[in-house]
């Protein structure tokens, strides 16, 4: 490690870390952002930054790449505009915080960065950030402005998700055999970039991603992953960025097909959409997150009758469910797929939704011993 010193905005002297090649690229972008402001000020011009617009109106579905991507619209943020001066300062402050983390070779949570940056501006009673909700979108502004993953800024989100299967990886120098992690499995970290997580060996044939921990526990206890030679993951509902990024890497780098077993409700459909096409809110990261070849195994609208389920497992659709289902059916990546239109219409016609756990009403291991093995057959998949 280098012995050079750097001084933070709070005046604390810290040791600079040796940078990886990715860190150097990110630092160059951060320095370029600072230089642009300095150069504008030196020419007595209003410093500004053009931040790509993060809204549905600036998102499009690329039919060739088969994922969502951000358009070219942007919003100009200017220092000498009174209505934008504070947000300009906050953006530069967030970039400065990321620079500090990279220089020191440290990572922190989004909450941690908020506290790192939060202080009273000298000579005023004004706080840099009043609440974390004020800081979070500014961090996203920096991400999209620099076209960098949050993890490349040395920031991590909440860790949520587990994995088990015949995969050996190197996690920051530690060798992890994911087939020997007991009942809890390997906890998927938020930062899973190649500098942090490296794949050593993999004998699995595919990845099965389930929606929730409760379902994942059933599959793990029944050793489904061993019997069917797969990697089993979950994301605790809507999968966090670390889980999505790791799924993308396993698909792209290990050539593993990704299958999703999710609830028969608008939320399950949306989770599949995010895994497959990317998130509307994070469209700028789709190329490193989306898995266009991911397949949906279930739960299906016709499974209530097909599986002979009890009426007691029905959950009536709310008005919100119905509105959300129609919104999802209108997504460009679903709108022209007849099987998906039929699937969503089937749920709406049923008037109820189903959770994967409903299959337990047949038998405690029905989902692992009969339902999923049958659905792995090609004719039962939705694309």
The answer to whether the Cα torsion of 96, 99, 103, 104 is positive or negative is: positive
Q: Which residues contact 203 (CB under 8 A, 6 or more apart)?
A: 166, 167, 229
How far apart CA 263 and CA 196 sit, in angstroms, is: 32
Q: Do residues 110 and 157 touch, judged by C-beta distance below 8 A?
A: yes
How far apart CA 97 and CA 154 sit, in angstroms, is: 10
How far apart CA 261 and CA 232 sit, in angstroms, is: 11
Q: Do residues 71 and 90 touch, judged by C-beta distance below 8 A?
A: no
Angle, alpha carbons 204-207-211 (nearest 5°): 145
Pair of tokens at residue 264: 């028969």
61, 114, 115, 156: which one is catalytic? 115
How far apart CA 363 and CA 376 sit, in angstroms, is: 19
Burial class (CB in 10 A: 0-12, 13-18, 19+), 284: buried
What strands lie across the sheet with 186-187, from one edge to the other? 186-187, 162-164, 230-234, 206-210, 258-261, 295-298
Name the 3-class secondary structure at 36.
helix
User: Which residues are registered as beta bridge partners of 352?
Assistant: 316
Active site residue 115: yes
User: Which residues are registered as beta bridge partners of 156?
Assistant: 109
Q: Which residues contact 340 (CB under 8 A, 6 or more apart)?
A: 329, 334, 382
Q: Do residues 369 and 307 touch, judged by C-beta distance below 8 A?
A: no
Pair of tokens at residue 259: 């299958």
Cis, peptide link before residue 299, omega less than 30° from 0 = yes
Q: Do residues 300 and 374 touch, judged by C-beta distance below 8 A?
A: no
Largest Cα–Cα separation, the chain: 74
Catalytic residues: 115
């Amino acid at each position: 490690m280098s012995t050079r010193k750097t001084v933070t905005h709070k005046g604390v002297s810290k040791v600079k870390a040796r940078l990886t090649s990715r860190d150097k690229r990110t630092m160059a972008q951060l320095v370029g952002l600072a230089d642009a402001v300095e150069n504008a000020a030196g020419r007595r011009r209003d410093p500004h930054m053009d931040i790509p617009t993060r809204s549905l109106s600036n998102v499009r579905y690329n039919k060739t790449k088969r994922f969502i991507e951000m358009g070219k619209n942007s919003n100009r943020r200017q220092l000498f505009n009174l209505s934008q001066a504070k947000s300009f300062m906050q953006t530069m402050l967030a970039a400065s915080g990321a620079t500090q983390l990279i220089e020191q070779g440290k990572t922190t949570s989004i909450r941690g960065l908020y506290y790192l940056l939060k202080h009273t501006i000298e000579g005023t009673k004004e706080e840099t950030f009043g609440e974390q909700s004020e800081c979070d979108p500014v961090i996203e502004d920096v991400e999209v402005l620099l076209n960098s993953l949050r993890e490349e800024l040395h920031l991590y989100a909440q860790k949520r998700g587990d994995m088990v299967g015949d995969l050996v990886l190197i996690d920051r120098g530690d060798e992890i055999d994911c087939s020997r992690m007991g009942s809890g499995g390997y906890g998927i970290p938020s930062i899973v970039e190649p500098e942090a997580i490296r794949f050593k060996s993999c004998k699995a044939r595919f990845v099965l991603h389930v929606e929730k921990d409760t379902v994942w526990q059933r599959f793990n206890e029944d050793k489904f992953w061993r019997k069917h030679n797969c990697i089993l993951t979950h994301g605790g509902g809507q999968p966090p960025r670390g889980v999505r990024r790791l799924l993308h890497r396993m698909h792209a780098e290990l050539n593993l097909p990704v299958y999703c077993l999710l609830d028969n409700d608008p939320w399950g459909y949306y989770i599949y959409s995010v895994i497959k096409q990317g998130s509307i809110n994070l469209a700028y990261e789709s190329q490193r997150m989306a898995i266009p070849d991911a397949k949906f195994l279930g739960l299906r609208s016709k499974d209530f009758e097909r599986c002979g389920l009890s009426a007691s497992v029905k959950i009536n659709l709310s008005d919100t469910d119905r509105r959300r289902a129609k919104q999802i059916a209108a997504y460009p990546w679903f709108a022209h797929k007849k099987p998906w239109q039929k699937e969503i219409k089937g749920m709406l016609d049923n008037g109820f939704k189903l959770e994967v756990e409903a299959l337990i009403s047949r038998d405690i291991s029905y989902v692992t011993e009969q339902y999923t093995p049958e659905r792995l057959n090609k004719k039962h998949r939705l694309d």
